[in-house]
Amino acid sequence: MSNPKSISVLGSTGSIGVNTLQIAAKNTDRIKIKYLTANKNSDLIISQTQQFLPNAIAITDPQAFEHAKNALKNSSVEILFGKEGLNEIASRDDVDLVVNAVVGKSGLEPTICALEMGKDIALANKESLVMAGEWVMKLTKERNATVFPIDSEHSAIWQCLSGENQKQVNKIILTGSGGPFRQYPLDQFSSIAPEQALKHPNWSMGAKITVDSATMMNKGLEIIEARWLFDFPPEQIEILIHPQSIIHSMVEFVDGSIKAQLGLPDMKIPIQYALSYPDRWHADWEKIDFTKLASLTFESPDLNRFPCLSLAMDALERGGIYPAALNIMNEFAVYAFLDRKILFTDIAICVEQILSLGDLANWEINLQSFQELETVAKDILNNIEKQCCK
């Protein structure tokens, strides 16, 4: 057998990060964990460090950093601090693959750092592509690197496109469960509580993406992600609601033939494929038993019910910095909703407001603009918070 693949796991304490490490633990002859990073969960990264013995770890939160430094003082692991530490780990050259499982806008800089070094990335952090898809994919090409998607829909599309001629694709059909509020009374949307939005019918995931799934912003972010990953124009990407989450996406070809990728809703499958590619590794997790599947159903997305979906399509259409503005505003709004400072329905209102700022059209796409967008987004959020929940 060849040498194990050495990897870094950015965001190792999150839902994707933990699943990645579980796969690594079952495949110690194939994967060597070299670096880990966390934000606040020092207890978990301490135990992960003791289990996987990485060369170095980075922790962005100051208190968590102090705690881990103290707890690991007798170990030889190097402990880096802050955003700089995270970026340094992402830039380390002695790995074969960087798994980016950081959530939200904080995942963009590590993506850029890894690509600058010509490293291949297994990318869960869809926000990197939403904010800077053109930049990220250009850099990928320039540095001769590859981005392997972890997002289940994009893993499905990647697998369906394998061996095919891109020019003979009619359309990509991106499936989505429709989330917990697909049939919830529309007149009660404004009173949806965080606990309700955090209950996804099929998938177990981190808080931000679970709320994004409830507003269906997640599907909007995924159209933008697919647009850049696979280089298809928005007109060739269609959304289809499939509540059972068994078909993870499909590709229709010019002859009317359709390829689909299926599996139980478990992120370990797409994560492992991104690690094992071009191979497939034996796995003992539960497989589909077709005789036990009651039915697979499909419907069109309801844009009236889920305005975030049309806002994302609108941002993609406008291009430039608009998708980044959408992403940054959405992220602030989601956390404000989770903190009960705004209503569920205010998330879309915030995003609509930022997209209606006409002068964004001339903004350049770079890290400084993203920083400035954060200030704009915070102002919008402050105003909405003042009106809400008084």
Binding site for ligand NDP (CB under 6 A): 11-17, 38-41, 60, 86, 101-103, 106-107, 124-127, 151, 203, 205-209, 267
Side chain identity, residue 372: E
Tokens of 34: 């070299």
Is the CB of 151 or the CB of 346 nearer to Mg ion? 151
Query: 3-state SS of 309-375?
Result: HHHHHHHHHHCCCHHHHHHHHHHHHHHHHHCCCCCCCHHHHHHHHHHCCHHHHHCCCCHHHHHHHHH
Q: From the list Mg ion, ligand NDP, none, which binds 87 (C-beta under 5 to 8 Å, kind-based)?
A: none
Q: How far is the CB of 222 from Mg ion (least distance, A)?
A: 6
Give least dist CB 16 to ligand NDP, A. 4
Counting contacts by CB under 5 A, is residue 212 touching Mg ion? no
- In DSSP terms, 241 is beta-bridged to 176, 299
With CA atoms as reference, report the closest residue to 35 among 97, 127, 111.
Answer: 97
Residue closer to ligand NDP, measured from CB, 103 or 360: 103
- Residue 151 makes contact with Mg ion by CB under 5 A: yes
Nearest to 294 by CA among 248, 255, 243: 243
**Residue 126 touches which of Mg ion, ligand NDP, none (Cβ within 5-8 Å per kind):** ligand NDP
Contact track, Mg ion, 108-147, x by CB under 5 A: ----------------------------------------
Residue 225 engages Mg ion in binding (rule: CB under 5 A): no
Token pair for 5: 């693949």
Please say which residue, 4 or 265, places its beta carbon nearer to Mg ion: 265
Cα–Cα distance for residue pair 41/63, rounded to 1 Å = 10
Looking at the Cβ atoms of 253 and 277, the one nearer to ligand NDP is: 277
- Residue reference for tokens 């796991």: 9
Task: Confirm or reject binding of residue 252 to Mg ion (CB under 5 A).
Answer: no
